[in-house]
Structure 1
Amino acid sequence: MRMHTREKTHSCEVCGYSFSRKTHLVIHIRTHTGEKPYSCEVCGYSCSTKSNLVTHMSTHTGEKPYSCEVCGYSCSTKSNLVTHMSTHTGEKPYSCEVCGHSFSRKLYLVTHIRTHTGEKPYSCEVCGYSCSTKSNLVTHMSTHTGEKPYSCEVCGHSFSRKLYLVTHIRTHTGEKPYSCEVCGYSCSTKSNLVTHMSTHTGEKPYSCEVCGYSFSRKLHLVTHIRTHTGEKPYSCEVCGYSFSQKQNLVRHMRTHTGEKPYSCEVCGYAFPQKQNLTTHMRTHTGEKPHFCEVCGYSCSTKSGLVSHMRTHTGKKEL
């Protein structure tokens, strides 16, 4: 009878969550105790369920027994295949009751709902940092351990997560698998496509409580808030200079290392920043995208236009 009615008679004494089968309760309790009885004999990785261990073993064997009949894509788990199939069918059966956003997997919906509830069930035992997903906690832990096991074979750059490496490799291959259905714009990451789409919809759901300024991405809001708080969490280990954004620290570090990763394909000149290369390329192409609205004068840099405008305003450079 329980199998038909799905009666949930087995309850967790810690959080009250209920299950229809005792085995499910046993597995759930491990999320509280941290018990991981299943270990990989190859690398020592441990997990709470046998199915997770089977999935993990495929990272060593390379086995991918589940294949897509449409495009031939193969993967190590049935759930990943189900998720992949939604890219062909477009099916997203799990919908958020708060905002209506729909997802192809229930797990994605559960994670999404936390953006509304503010729930952050995963906590760092070192510093107390909490987050909404386990993967984010794993990434955070690398800030304490410094571990970056995924390395790029092209340039040697290493990363704490495989996903970051996959995204990085596209800077070498030029691959841009995410395309805008409105204008055809393509990019290398899904998050960049989401940001781009806001240029069409104008949607900016994240607002600053201090000044009311709104943003299309939560990350942009977090960065903006630092202009009010003065927080600069990214510090240079060489000179102690601190920044509000990680990318600014990366750029700054090049002043110490002398690294110039952006090279001109025409003359070989190298630059520490991509914007510098973009500006330099105009010396070869002759492009002058900055125009004076008064006299029509054009130049290759914004700073050049600012200097030119002083000939009209009479304002002297300080």
Structure 2
Amino acid sequence: MNNKSEAKEKPYSCEVCGSSFLKKHTLIKHMRIHTGEKPYSCEVCGTPFTKKEHMLRHRRTHTGEKPYSCEVCGSSFSRKESMLQHMLTHTGEKPYPCKVCGSSFTVKQHMLNHIQTHTGEKPYSCEVCGSSFTRKESMLRHMRTHTGEKPYSCEICGVSFTTKGHMSQHIRTHTGEKPYSCEVCGSCFAQKRSLMLHIQTHTGEKPYSCEVCGSSFTRKHTVMKHMRIHTGERPYSCEVCGASFTIKHILIKHMRIHTGEKPYSCEVCGSSFTQKSHVFLHMRTHTGEKPYSCKICGFPFTKKENMLIHMRTHTGVKPYSCEICGSSFTKKENMLIHMRTHTGEKPYSCEVCYCSFAEKRSMLRHMKTHSCEVCGASFTIKQSMLQHMRSHET
């Protein structure tokens, strides 16, 4: 009796797998799973879909349309299910618990991914290098490190990214959007991880420790970088001169010595710089800002390091010592100049007579002996220049 009732309720059956459906058009849609037919295509990028509603939802990635809004905070979403998941952040509801440890999650997929941390299961493997992953999307994202594929592009500047999340973060550099706020001080951030790191400045938490010296850090990758101090590892090498570095971004900065690239410009005078921090320092020449003051005499400085060097005139601290004779100096460059008295090194040469000097200022002072201050005539011998000068006196 029940079977007959069910047959009347779902009269349309799939000939391939036997699934039953209430409406004929639902069966037609289902059959596309078996046939692979995708009759609906995106007019912008051509991506095909089995269902019209999937294609329409996809189109929002091009139009930017977000028709579903949160009634609490007004955040907008392109998908209804994304909005419903977001609502749980306001209610605090986490309906999907882990049966092993009891941890709860707002999204079912997050719970399923978490369970694999208990089982150790990594069912998705990279066909190139064999690395294993708990999630399919993680494996697909990893594959881009081999293929070099960057499918997500910024519509404003055209820069491409391997992940959608990285592209979304980048777009905020154009829009200035900072959606993550600190509940303690109200500071806003463009990235969630930046907010989490900032919160640790209030709590003082440094959960990552160096196993060698015990130093603590707020970030895991900072510990890994720090460990290179102990291991001596320099994994980033310059292809031009072979210099090696512990941190990738230092290599990137170094490469500008060879390429001459100066990507950061002053908006006032147009001067270009290799580093962004140099632009900020340079801007003070226009604004006159001197934010660092000596605590003893109040003398102001544009750079913090200049203020610290000045402070040594009050404290008498000389932190740089000569390894040969033990002489101490307030500045590192003064110690390096002094070292030449032991090594005999004279790196500065006169372009006229090729005399060498240990200090640049000595070389510049010497250069004046070759040029006439009145007419600019140059001489290789000082006596000849002095004789020439008398011709101007008569």
Category of TM-score, reference length = shorter chain: 0.5 to 0.7
Counting only pairs closer than 5 Å after superposition, residues 153-164 of structure 1 correspond to structure 2 as 158-164=188-194
Q: How far, CA to CA, are the matches of 1:271 and 1:84 in structure 2?
A: 53
CA shift in 2, pair 1:226/1:105, >3 Å: farther
Q: CA deviation at 1:294?
A: 0.9
Q: 1:143 is matched with which residue? A: 173
User: What is the CA deviation profile of residues 29-83 of structure 1, one whole-angstrom value per residue up to 9, with x for unaligned ones?
Assistant: 4476556554434455443433322222234434444567888866533444555
Shift, 1:251, TM fit: 5.1
Is 1:230 paired with 2:260?
yes
Letter in 1 for 2:152: Y
Over 3 Å counting, the alpha-carbon distance change for 1:78 and 1:191 in structure 2 is: farther
Q: Which amino acid aligns with 1:117?
A: T
In terms of mean alpha carbon deviation, does 53-62 or 67-76 score higher? 67-76
State the match for 1:202 in structure 2.
233
Q: C-alpha distance in 2, partners of 1:90/1:274?
A: 52
Aligned to 1:119: 149
Distance in 2, Cα, partners of 1:43 & 1:133: 27
Instruction: Give 3-state SS (helix, strand or coil) of 2:85's partner.
Output: helix
Output the CA distance in 1 between the equivalents of 2:315 and 2:332.
17
CA pair 317-112 structure 1, distance change in 2 beyond 3 A: same
Shift in alpha-carbon separation, 1:153–1:28, aligned structure 2, 3 A: closer
Bigger Cα displacement from structure 2, 145-154 vs 112-121: 145-154
Instruction: Write the mapping of 1:128-277 to structure 2, written as runs, cut at 5 A.
Output: 128-150=158-180, 158-171=188-201, 173-181=203-211, 184-197=214-227, 200=231, 202=233, 204=235, 208-211=238-241, 213=243, 218-250=248-280, 252=282, 256=287, 258-259=290-291
SS of 1:303's equivalent in the other structure is: helix
Deviations 1:99-136 (A, max 9, x none): 45555543333323323222111112222222122222
8 A Cα contact 1:123 1:137, kept in partner: yes
Measure, in 2, the Cα distance between the counterparts of 1:299 and 1:272: 23
| Aligned counterparts of 1:227 and 1:132: Cα–Cα separation in 2 | 28
Q: How does 1:63-102 map to 2 (within 5 A)?
A: 63-65=93-95, 75-81=105-111, 89=118, 91=120, 93=122, 94-99=124-129, 101-102=131-132
- The runs of 5 or more residues in structure 2 that have no matched partner are 1-15, 19-32, 345-357, 362-394
8 A contact 1:68–1:74 mirrored in 2: yes
User: Structure 2 counterpart of 1:9, which letter?
Assistant: G
* Structure 1 unaligned residues grouped into runs of 5+: none
Alignment of 1:15-34 (within 5 A): 26=55, 29-30=58-59, 34=63
Aligned partner (choices 335, 338, 345) of residue 305 of structure 1 = 335
1:58 aligns to what? 88
TM-superposed CA distance for 1:241, in Å, is 3.8
Amino acid at match of 2:233: G
- 2:337–2:359 CA contact under 8 A, matched in 1: no
Structure 1 pair 58–247 and aligned structure 2 pair: CA distance change class (3 A): farther
What corresponds to 1:9 in structure 2?
36
For residues 152-176 of structure 1, the C-alpha deviation after alignment (integer angstroms, 9 at most, x for no partner) is 5777754322322322343454432
Change (3 A) 1:163 1:317: same
TM-score (norm. length: structure 2): 0.57
Relative contact order (alpha carbons < 8 A, sep ≥ 6): 1 or 2 greater? Answer: 1
After TM superposition, give the deviation of residue 313 of structure 1 in Å.
5.0
Q: For structure 1, which segment, 186-195 or 280-289, has the greater mean C-alpha deviation from structure 2 after superposition?
A: 280-289
Q: CA RMSD in A?
A: 5.0
Change (3 A) 1:32 1:170: closer
Q: Deviations over 1:235-282 (max 9, x none)?
A: 34355443333344455556745445x999xxx999877767987999
Distance 2:294 2:90 in 1: 38
* Superposition deviation, residue 288 in structure 1: 6.7
Structure 2 vs 1, CA of residues 201 and 302 (structure 1 numbering), >3 Å: closer, same or farther? closer
Deviates more, 1:210-219 or 1:112-121: 210-219
Q: Distance in 2 between matches of 1:72 and 1:270?
A: 58
Within 2, Cα distance between the matches of 1:69 and 1:145?
Answer: 42
CA contact (8 A) 2:262 2:272 kept: yes
Would the aligned equivalents of 1:27 and 1:49 in 2 still touch at CA under 8 Å? no
- The answer to whether the 8 Å contact 1:10/1:25 transfers is no
Larger Rg: 2
**2:79 aligned partner:** 49
| Aligned length, in residue pairs | 312
